Amino acid sequence: MKNIELKVKINSIRGIAGLLKKLHAKHRGVLKQIDTYYNDKEGRLKIREVNGKYFEKIFYKRPDKESSKISFYTVSKIKKPQLQKEKSFLKKALGEKVIVEKQRELWILKNTRVHLDRVKHLGNFLELETEVEKAGKNAEREHKEIIDQLNLSKYKPFAKSYSDMLMN
């Protein structure tokens, strides 16, 4: 699957949430996420735990650049009884890299997921993920429109993943 992504550092989650409400974005809830990253030479590999109830293995590749970028990813669901076995296997096979803990407000605006993240030890961020398959030929235009509607050009963009930021 493929996304167009952008990550920016923000001061206030409430201010952006207010803008999202005005734009009639759909609030999908607050998610407590724990991402355990593993060493991988080809991209980034993690196991995500969501609210202690949902679990998935995620592999993704994307360039580390501050502007919007294309991300290719694959998601595989994990059943709770298999979680510890999967984590143990990946830790032994590849080595554990870092654990990222965050609270994420998930909003949906058209074909774009808007994440308002409070990341432990890093602060507040906004991530846009425009789903290319859903948006089709309009994906880039939609992504740029949402950047403009949320006035994101005034914020500092970040190239790296939260895992990389925590390791530095």
pLDDT tens figures, 45-78: 999 999 999 999 999 999 999 999 999 999 999 9
The average confidence (pLDDT) of the chain is 97
**Residue 138's domain is classified under what CATH number?**
2.40.320.10
- Percent of the chain whose pLDDT exceeds 90: 99
pLDDT attached to residue 2: 98
Give me the number of domains the chain comprises: 1
Domain span including residue 142: 2-167
For 102, the token pair is 């965050």
Which sign, positive or negative, has the C-alpha torsion 112, 25, 11, 117?
negative
pLDDT number for residue 164? 97
Token digits of residue 47: 């196991």
Give the span between the Cα atoms of 111 and 124, in whole angstroms: 23
What pLDDT does residue 23 have? 98
Q: 149 phi and psi, to 5 degrees?
A: -60, -35
User: What pLDDT score does 26 carry?
Assistant: 98
The pLDDT > 70 percentage for the chain reads 100
| pLDDT tens digits for range 2-54 | 999 999 999 999 999 999 999 999 999 999 999 999 999 999 999 999 999 99
One-character DSSP codes across 77-106: EE-GGGHHHHHHHHHHHH-EEEEEEEEEEE
User: Residue 150: which pLDDT band, with cuts at 50, 70 and 90?
Assistant: very high
